[in-house]
């Protein structure tokens, strides 16, 4: 069947490259959106024709020329593939660069941009596989998005916490706790020294715990822990639900209870994300983004969408915290590539850096910065590696690495806070924490039995 399908592929009346979608001498405009696709053409399909087909199908083309083309300013509306190169060390794969005119996208709409860029093209017959590796969004288009509702600078001011990473933990087990027991976990974690606790991605309003109970018990725990420690604390209340109406209802209740933060999952979709960001902007609430589902786009190296592109879209759409990977925990990730994602979240201007997977300069045009979140199988013993990799502007989140502590949840939180503060102190004294990390932790553990046990 596959062989037949390949045979049946034909560009139609004219090849895409002849229709103007291949322009190797194209002069890039400052206002163009630039995309880098990794394409794997079907056997026998010329890579340049495949690149032109991607440009065509993600902008104006269909499989044949149409009379109505002549009724538009078709030349500027066509996206232009302007460069194709083999991917080093990956036979059969090519990088294809494509430029899109500003007029092709609606202002302030990720849904519209993605309907073109990752719409039909990913199931297009001339390609075995396609991956959107990187994107340059022009300043003119960036300025049509409102970006993070709070941003990391204002978040630190509101929390009154500076000069160190923030600490968090995901309440575990993921599902099954009653409201009262759940609230107890939140209290213990925050009282022990964490800044944030967090709902898991799949906790919404199941029979064992209705969402209102979760919110009530969690906020009771947050208030008690704040009073006991004198610190601003929060717990990301997951407001993900089946409809926008229900999400707004949950967000309003979180705000009414005094929560500083709400959380949504990536799976709610781009328009829902932009709407919730709008709500957070209007209500001065931090928006935590859990990237649940991203692996379906990002994991395969030859097909899908890179996380650096998703992170760029999310910064435009507006979130304050974003799960960005750890490179050292239970989930896959290469340290250099992951650092590239952090740059996308935190830079004012992201420079091209091929080692970190960044193919374009990106001017963020003063859009607020996103606080990245490192999470997934990390623990106090990796504190030196985490601080070395990510610096201070990050939330380090230890779920199992807090709630699995042998002496209890509060002890787990104490161990993480002491490990963090001793490592930040050592770094500020100019010590090489990557080399000395384990001995710094052992020394700190002499005065802290929870850290010793951890
Ligand atoms: C972490 C976590 C997070 C993942 C998400 C989990 O728990 O709650 O959902 O970290 O991954 O369910 O696995 P642990 P990412 O701390 O106990 O591992 O941050 O990469 O999106
Ligand atoms: Mg989780």
pLDDT tens-digit readout, 107-143: 999 999 999 999 988 988 889 999 999 999 999 999 9
CA 168 to ligand 2 center in whole angstroms? 12
Q: What is the pLDDT of residue 179?
A: 97
Residue nearest to atom 16 of ligand 1 (CA): 399
Q: What is the pLDDT of residue 218?
A: 98
- Would strands 304-305 and 286-290 be described as parallel, antiparallel, or unpaired? unpaired
Average pLDDT over residues 278-288: 98
pLDDT class for 2, splitting at 50, 70, 90? Answer: very low
**Residue 138 near residue 32 (C-beta atoms within 8 A):** yes
Residue with tokens 């770094």: 427
Which atom of ligand 1 lies closest to the CA of 174? 12
What backbone torsions phi and psi does residue 319 show, to the nearest 5 degrees? -145, 155
Taken in order 48, 51, 56, 62, is the CA torsion positive or negative? positive
Q: Pocket of ligand 1, candidates 167, 168, 170, 171: which has the most ligand atoms within 8 Å of its Cβ, to mutate?
A: 170
CA 197 to ligand 1 center in whole angstroms? 13
Calculate what percentage of the chain has a pLDDT beyond 90.
87
Q: Is the pLDDT of residue 8 over 90?
A: no
The predicted-structure confidence for 242-258, as pLDDT tens digits, reads as follows 999 999 999 999 999 99
Interatomic CA distance for residues 232 and 177, integer angstroms? 25
- 9-18, 176-185, 264-273, 342-351: range with lowest mean pLDDT: 9-18
| Count of CA atoms in the C-beta half-sphere (13 A) of 53 | 27
Q: What is the pLDDT of residue 191?
A: 98
What dihedral do alpha carbons 56, 60, 62, 64 form, nearest 10°? -90
Helix (H) or strand (E) holding 86: strand 80-86
Q: What is the pLDDT of residue 60?
A: 84
**Residue 411 near residue 385 (C-beta atoms within 8 A):** no
CA 230 to ligand 1 center in whole angstroms? 28
- Positions marked catalytic: 172, 290
Taken in order 411, 417, 423, 429, is the CA torsion positive or negative? negative
Q: What is the pLDDT of residue 126?
A: 87
What dihedral do alpha carbons 370, 244, 295, 129 form, nearest 10°? -110
The predicted-structure confidence for 312-345, as pLDDT tens digits, reads as follows 999 999 999 999 998 887 777 789 999 999 999 9
Spatial CB neighbours of 447, under 8 Å, sequence gap ≥ 6: none
Say yes or no: CB of residue 199 within 6 Å of ligand 1: no
The predicted-structure confidence for 196-229, as pLDDT tens digits, reads as follows 999 999 999 999 999 999 999 999 999 999 999 9
Which atom of ligand 1 lies closest to the CA of 292? 21
**Residue 238 near residue 200 (C-beta atoms within 8 A):** yes
Residue nearest to atom 20 of ligand 1 (CA): 325
- Would strands 261-265 and 286-290 be described as parallel, antiparallel, or unpaired? parallel
Cα separations in angstroms, 244 against 86, 155, 268, 274, 386: 44, 25, 9, 11, 36
Calculate what percentage of the chain has a pLDDT beyond 70.
97
Say yes or no: CB of residue 170 within 6 Å of ligand 1: yes
The predicted-structure confidence for 371-402, as pLDDT tens digits, reads as follows 999 999 999 999 999 999 999 999 999 999 99
Q: Is the pLDDT of residue 302 over 80?
A: yes
Which atom of ligand 1 lies closest to the CA of 398? 16
Interatomic CA distance for residues 451 and 413, integer angstroms? 9
Residue nearest to atom 10 of ligand 1 (CA): 376
Q: Is the pLDDT of residue 68 over 90?
A: no
What is the per-residue DSSP string for 91-123? TT-EEEEEEE-GGGS-TT-HHHHHHHHTSGGGG
Q: Across all residues in the chain, what is the average pLDDT?
A: 94
What backbone torsions phi and psi does residue 262 show, to the nearest 5 degrees? -125, 165
Contacts of 446-449 spanning 24+ positions with Cβ under 8 A:
448/414, 448/415, 448/418, 449/407, 449/411
> Which residues, listed in sequence order, are joined to residue 130 by a DSSP beta bridge?
39
State the ligand closest to the CA atom of 326: 1
Q: What is the pLDDT of residue 10?
A: 58
The answer to pTM > 0.80 is: yes
> Which residues, listed in sequence order, are joined to residue 129 by a DSSP beta bridge?
40
pLDDT class for 448, splitting at 50, 70, 90? Answer: very high
What is the per-residue DSSP string for 200-262? -TT-SSBTTB-HHHHHHHHHHHHHHHHHHH-S--EEEEE---SSHHHHHHHHHHHHHTT-SEE
Q: What is the pLDDT of residue 203?
A: 98
Say yes or no: CB of residue 331 within 6 Å of ligand 1: yes
Q: Is the pLDDT of residue 443 over 70?
A: yes
Cα separations in angstroms, 90 against 38, 40, 383: 10, 10, 35
The tokens for 369 are 């910065």
Say yes or no: CB of residue 155 within 6 Å of ligand 1: no
Average pLDDT over residues 294-303: 95
Q: What is the pLDDT of residue 125?
A: 85
Q: Is the pLDDT of residue 1 over 50?
A: no
Say yes or no: CB of residue 189 within 6 Å of ligand 1: no
Residue nearest to atom 13 of ligand 1 (CA): 376
The tokens for 327 are 């490179």
- Would strands 261-265 and 94-100 be described as parallel, antiparallel, or unpaired? unpaired
Average pLDDT over residues 404-423: 98
Say yes or no: CB of residue 399 within 6 Å of ligand 1: yes
Q: Given strand 304-305, what is the order of strands in its sheet?
A: 80-86, 94-100, 33-41, 127-136, 304-305
Helix (H) or strand (E) holding 129: strand 127-136
CA 120 to ligand 1 center in whole angstroms? 32
CA 263 to ligand 2 center in whole angstroms? 12
Q: What is the pLDDT of residue 124?
A: 85
């Amino acid at each position: 069947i596959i062989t037949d399908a390949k045979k049946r592929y034909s560009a139609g009346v004219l090849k895409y490259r002849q229709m103007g979608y291949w322009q190797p001498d194209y002069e890039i405009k400052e206002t163009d959106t630039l995309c880098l696709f990794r394409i794997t053409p079907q056997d026998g399909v010329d890579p340049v024709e495949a690149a032109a087909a991607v440009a065509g199908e993600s902008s104006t083309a269909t499989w044949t020329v149409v009379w109505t083309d002549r009724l538009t300013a078709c030349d500027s509306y066509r996206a232009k593939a302007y460069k194709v190169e083999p991917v080093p060390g990956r036979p059969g794969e090519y990088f294809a660069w494509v430029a899109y005119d500003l007029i092709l996208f609606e202002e302030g709409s990720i849904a519209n941009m993605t309907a073109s860029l990752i719409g039909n093209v990913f199931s297009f017959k001339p390609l075995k596989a396609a991956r959107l590796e990187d994107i340059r969004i022009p300043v003119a288009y960036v300025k049509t998005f409102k970006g993070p509702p709070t941003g990391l600078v204002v978040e630190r001011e509101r929390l009154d916490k500076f000069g160190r990473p923030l600490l968090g933990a995901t309440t575990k087990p993921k599902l099954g706790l009653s409201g009262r027991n759940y609230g107890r976990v939140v209290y213990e974690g925050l009282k022990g020294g964490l800044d944030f606790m967090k709902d898991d991605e799949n906790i919404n309003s199941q029979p064992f715990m209705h969402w209102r109970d979760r919110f009530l018990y969690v906020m009771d725990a947050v208030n008690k822990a704040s009073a006991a420690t004198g610190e601003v604390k929060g717990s990301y209340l997951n407001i993900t639900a089946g409809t926008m109406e229900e999400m707004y209802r949950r967000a309003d209740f979180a705000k009414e209870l005094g929560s500083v933060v709400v959380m949504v999952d990536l799976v709610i979709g781009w328009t829902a994300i932009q709407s919730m960001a709008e709500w957070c902007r209007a209500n001065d609430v931090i928006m935590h983004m859990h990237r649940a589902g991203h692996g379906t786009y990002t994991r395969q190296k030859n097909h899908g969408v890179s996380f650096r592109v998703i992170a760029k879209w999310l910064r435009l759409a507006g979130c304050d915290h974003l799960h960005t990977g750890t490179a050292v925990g239970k989930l896959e990730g290469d340290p250099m590539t992951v650092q590239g994602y952090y740059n996308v979240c935190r830079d004012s201007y992201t420079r091209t850096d091929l080692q970190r997977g960044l193919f374009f300069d990106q001017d963020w045009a003063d859009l607020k910065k996103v606080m990245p979140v490192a999470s997934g199988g990390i623990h106090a013993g990796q504190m030196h590696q985490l601080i070395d990799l990510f610096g201070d502007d990050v939330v380090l989140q230890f779920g199992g690495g807090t709630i699995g502590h042998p002496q209890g949840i509060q002890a787990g939180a104490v161990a993480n806070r002491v490990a963090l503060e001793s490592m930040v102190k050592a770094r500020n004294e100019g010590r090489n924490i990557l080399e000395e990390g384990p001995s710094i932790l052992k020394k700190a553990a002499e005065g802290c039995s929870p850290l010793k046990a951890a």
